[in-house]
């Protein structure tokens, strides 16, 4: 059987809903359908999730929510109307939004998650109703009833292991299951969402729990490309990546797949197939286990860049002789609840790279003063607006001179490298550059390795 997930652009309007239904119904193995909330219908449109976030803010501030509710309902209504689904379902959606707003309580993040989840939840109800209207045996399944339990990290949840066992029950259902992406429930019974784009994660969890033959992830591109098409003209389509390559690329800013979506299927080796709702005949890109991947003929298969990082540079003369320095430094971050990304180091220096969103200014000030206060360092220096650029390819292990070629490409484009880091798997090399150099860096590397 196949678990099949559709992203926001595939759910944006009635025309897209019809395409989705046709894709689902064209293959009886497509038994579990995970859907996003309706996304943008064009450049200047707004995703339903963003409308819901605005509505949540209004409601939280005690403002007038009528217009906000009307806007969200109108998005669903226009879909339902074009699909000839009748008024009933729209009334249900309006009631649902009102109920969520009236359950506002003392925790903003909890309330926000409950509002955000309304996009996927109602999208799934609408899709199930549409499949039923076409005389197919389809059923909306609520994540709580199915057993999708998550950590109570609002807006950034992770799956609880017990979910996998509980979700297996879905295999017994006869109907085509329509499952809302993006959210599950805490053990306390509250709605909790993954981070943005998290419907991909729901799909991965269901594919793993149900031991699917393949996890099909439908979006709006024929392939995953070697670089962002908004940065590089006509980048090479890549028909196959390994999990490790894709993980590095999505971490590095490839937005085609959520960076945590592959974790559930990774150890089971379930292949993931990224495909295009608007061109379902295209075979798409496969993401498979390393031992299932053919030998790569190119050293590099993808180049990604992401901005929004800061670096805390710490210098202490004779740092390398001080036992426990690294642990004490990282313990400060742990105690402040800050996750860090990388820690490249020299003999007397260590740099900690952190996503700006994970370290607001007040926390940063505390961290810096604690480092000075408890570690006796010579200097602490914070640099904002940093980018990371990932050069990714399993073929790099066997190729000599990749880092040299990359450095030469940066040199030619006048880009200063602030940091280089090669993970032990040798599937990627990461470069730290100034935020403004992120795009030129991708272009420079693409020219070097693909043109
Ligand atoms: N609708 C959510 C978002 O916009 C989740 C998703 O589409 O995967 O982030």
Q: How confident is the model at residue 253 (pLDDT cuts 50, 70, 90)?
A: confident
Which residue segment(s) compose the domain that 326 sits in?
Answer: 302-449
Are residue 260 and residue 330 in the same domain, yes or no? no
Whether 326 is in a domain gets the answer yes
229 assigned to some structural domain: no
Asked if 59 and 126 sit in the same domain, the reply is yes
**Which CA distances in Å does 434 have to 252, 309, 315, 385?**
15, 9, 21, 6
Residue 244 lies in a domain: no
Question: Is 156 a residue whose pLDDT tops 80?
Answer: yes
Q: Quote the percentage of the chain above a pLDDT of 90.
A: 91
Residues 213 and 86 in one domain: yes
Mean pLDDT across 149-172: 97
Is the distance from the beta carbon of residue 180 to the nearest atom of ligand 1 less than 6 Å? no
Can you give the pLDDT at residue 259?
87
Nearest CA residue ID for atom 8, ligand 1:
197
In testing the pocket of ligand 1, which one of 11, 12, 35, 36 has its CB within 8 Å of the most ligand atoms? 36
The pLDDT value recorded for residue 313 is: 97
> 368 in a domain, yes or no?
yes
Ligand 1 center from residue 277 Cα (angstroms): 17
Q: Is the CB of 38 under 6 A from ligand 1?
A: no
Indicate which residue's Cα is closest to atom 5 of ligand 1: 197
Any domain includes 233: no
Distance of alpha carbon 395 from the chain centroid: 25
326 plus 281 within the same structural domain: no
Q: Are residues 324 and 276 in the same domain?
A: no
Query: How much of the chain exceeds pLDDT 70, in percent?
Result: 100
Considering the domain architecture, whether residues 270 and 351 belong to the same structural domain is answered as no
Task: Specify the DSSP class assigned to residue 12.
Answer: S
The mean-pLDDT minimum among 290-304, 350-364, 407-421, 435-449 falls in 290-304
Is position 239 within any domain? no
Angstrom distance (rounded) from CA 329 to CA 253: 28
360 lies in the same domain as 279: no
Question: DSSP secondary-structure letter at 194?
Answer: -
Task: Compute, in angstroms, the gap from residue 112 CA to the centroid of ligand 1.
Answer: 14
The CATH number assigned to the domain holding 355 equals 3.30.2130.10
Is residue 92 domain-resident?
yes
Question: What tokens were used for 155?
Answer: 């807006």
277-316 confidence digits (pLDDT tens): 999 999 999 999 999 998 888 889 999 999 999 999 999 9
Say yes or no: CB of residue 217 within 6 Å of ligand 1: no
Q: Please check whether residues 332 and 284 belong to one and the same domain.
A: no
Average pLDDT over every residue of 381-404: 93
More confident residue, 43 or 165: 165
The CA distance from 180 to 168, in Å, is: 17
What are the CB-based long-range contacts (under 8 Å, 24+) for 373-376?
A: 374/328, 374/332, 375/314, 375/316, 375/325, 375/328, 375/329, 376/316
Residue 169: inside a domain, yes or no? yes
Mean pLDDT of the chain: 95
- Give the per-residue pLDDT at 317: 97
Q: How far away, in angstroms, is 400 Cα from ligand 1 center?
A: 41
**In 297-422, alpha helices (H):** 325-335, 361-375, 402-412
Look at residue 399 in the predicted model and tell me its pLDDT: 84
Q: Concatenated DSSP letters for 206-252?
A: HHHHTT-SEEEEEES-SSEESS-TTTSSSPPEESEEEHHHHHHHHHT
Among 290, 312, 344, the domain-final residue is: 290
**pLDDT band of 171, cuts 50, 70, 90:** very high
* Whole-number pLDDT of residue 397: 81
**18-25 contacts at long range (C-beta below 8 A, 24 or more positions apart):** 18/83, 19/277, 19/278, 19/280, 20/127, 20/218, 20/277, 21/127, 21/130, 21/131, 21/134, 22/280, 23/218, 23/277, 23/280, 24/131, 24/176, 25/131, 25/134, 25/136
On whether both 49 and 177 belong to a single domain, the answer is yes
Q: Would you say the CB of residue 286 lies under 6 angstroms from ligand 1?
A: no
Distance (angstroms) between ligand 1 centre and the Cα of 215 equals 18
Give the chain's length.
Answer: 451
Ligand 1 atom at minimal distance to the Cα of residue 202 = 8
Average pLDDT over residues 233-257: 92
Q: Is the CB of 204 under 6 A from ligand 1?
A: no
Q: Which of 116-120, 295-299, 326-330 has the lowest mean pLDDT?
A: 295-299
Q: Is the CB of 119 under 6 A from ligand 1?
A: yes
Q: Give distance in angstroms: CA of 279 to centre of ligand 1.
A: 21
Nearest CA to ligand 1 atom 6: 197
Kindly state if the Cβ of 197 falls inside 6 Å of ligand 1: yes
Number of structural domains (the chain) is 2
Together in a domain, 44 and 161: yes
Reported as a single tens digit per residue, the pLDDT across 60-116 is: 999 999 999 999 999 999 999 999 998 899 999 999 999 999 998 889 999 999 999
**Per-residue pLDDT at 414:** 97
User: What is the C-alpha separation between 238 and 235, in angstroms, rounded?
Assistant: 9
Q: Please give the pLDDT value at position 288.
A: 96
Residue whose CB lies within 8 A of the most ligand 1 atoms, among 179, 181, 260, for a mutation test:
181
Q: Ligand 1 center to residue 181 CA distance, Å?
A: 8
264, 290, 316 — which closes off a domain? 290
Question: What is the reported pLDDT for 34?
Answer: 98
284 with 306, same domain? Answer: no
Under the banding of pLDDT at 50, 70 and 90, the label for residue 243 is very high
- Does 265 share its domain with 391? no
Q: What is the pLDDT of residue 21?
A: 98
pLDDT over 80 at 423, yes or no: no
Per-residue pLDDT tens digits for 339-354: 999 999 999 999 999 9
If you measure from the C-alpha of residue 324 to the centroid of ligand 1, how many angstroms do you get, rounded to a whole number? 42
- CATH number assigned to the domain comprising residue 212: 3.40.1160.10
- The string of pLDDT tens digits covering residues 173-217 is 999 999 999 999 999 999 999 999 999 999 999 999 999 999 999
List the beta bridge partners of residue 372: none
Separation of alpha carbons 301 and 279, rounded Å: 23
């Amino acid at each position: 059987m196949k678990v099949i997930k559709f992203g926001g652009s595939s759910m944006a309007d009635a025309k897209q809903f019809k395409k989705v239904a046709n894709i689902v119904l064209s293959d009886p193995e497509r038994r579990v359908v995970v859907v996003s909330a309706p996304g943008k219908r064009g450049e200047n449109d707004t995703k339903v999730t963003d409308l819901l976030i605005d509505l949540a803010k209004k409601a939280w501030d005690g403002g007038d929510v009528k217009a906000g509710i009307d806007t969200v309902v109108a998005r669903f209504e226009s879909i339902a109307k074009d699909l000839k689904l009748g008024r009933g379902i729209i009334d249900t959606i309006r009631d649902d939004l009102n109920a969520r707003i009236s359950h506002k309580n003392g925790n903003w993040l909890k309330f926000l998650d409950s509002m955000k989840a309304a996009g996927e939840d109602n999208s799934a109800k609408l899709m199930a109703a549409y499949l039923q209207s076409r005389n197919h045996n389809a059923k909306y399944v609520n994540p709580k009833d199915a057993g999708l339990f998550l950590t109570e990290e609002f807006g950034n949840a992770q799956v609880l292991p017990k979910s996998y066992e509980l979700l297996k029950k879905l295999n017994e259902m006869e109907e085509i299951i329509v499952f809302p992406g993006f959210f599950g429930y805490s053990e306390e019974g509250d709605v909790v969402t993954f981070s943005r784009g998290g419907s991909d994660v729901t799909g991965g969890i269901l594919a793993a729990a149900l031991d699917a033959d393949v996890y099909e992830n439908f979006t709006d591109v024929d392939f995953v490309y070697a670089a962002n098409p908004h940065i590089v003209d006509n980048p090479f389509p890549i028909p196959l990546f390994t999990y490790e390559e894709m993980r590095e690329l999505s971490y590095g800013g490839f937005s085609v797949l959520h960076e945590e979506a592959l974790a559930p299927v990774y150890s089971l080796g379930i292949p993931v197939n990224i495909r295009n709702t608007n061109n379902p005949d295209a075979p798409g890109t496969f993401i498979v286990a390393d031992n299932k991947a053919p030998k790569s003929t190119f050293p590099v298969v993808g180049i990604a860049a992401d901005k929004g990082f800061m670096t805390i540079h710490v210098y202490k003369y004779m740092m390398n002789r001080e036992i426990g320095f690294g642990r004490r430094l990282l313990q400060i971050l742990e105690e402040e609840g800050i996750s860090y990304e990388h820690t490249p180091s020299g003999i007397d220096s260590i740099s900690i790279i952190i996503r700006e969103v994970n370290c607001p200014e007040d926390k940063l000030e505390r961290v810096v003063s604690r480092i000075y206060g408890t570690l006796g360092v010579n200097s602490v220096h914070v640099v904002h607006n940093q980018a990371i650029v990932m050069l990714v390819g399993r073929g790099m292990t066997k190729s000599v001179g990749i880092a040299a070629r990359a450095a030469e490409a940066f040199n030619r484009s006048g880009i200063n490298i602030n940091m280089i880091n090669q993970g032990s798997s040798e599937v990627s090399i990461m470069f730290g550059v100034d935020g403004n150099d992120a795009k030129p860096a991708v272009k420079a590397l693409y020219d070097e390795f693909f043109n």
